[in-house]
Amino acid sequence: MKYIYEAIIEPSGNWLEVRFPDLGIITQGEDMQDAAYMAQDLLENHIVMALRKGRSLPAPTFGNDCSDAGYRMGIVVDCDENTPQVDTMTVNEAADILDVSPTRIRAMISSGILKSQKVGMIHMVDAQSVMNRFNEPARAGRPKREAALA
pTM (predicted TM-score): 0.61
* Model pLDDT for residues 44-89, shown as the tens digit of each residue: 989 998 998 999 999 999 999 999 999 999 999 999 888 876 678 8
pLDDT at 5 over 90: yes
- Domain borders along the chain are 2-78, 88-135
DSSP letter assigned to residue 118: E
Query: CATH code for 2-78?
Result: 3.30.160.250
Q: What is the DSSP string of the chain?
A: -EEEEEEEEEEETTEEEEEETTTTEEEEESSHHHHHHHHHHHHHHHHHHHHHTTPPPPPP--S----TT-EEEEEEEE--TTPPPP-EEEHHHHHHHHTS-HHHHHHHHHTTSS-EEEETTEEEEEHHHHHHHHHSPPPSSPPPPPPPP-
* Model pLDDT for residues 105-147, shown as the tens digit of each residue: 999 999 999 999 877 777 789 888 888 888 887 776 666 666 5
What average pLDDT does the segment 80-103 reach? 84
Please list the residues that pair with 77 across neighbouring strands: 3
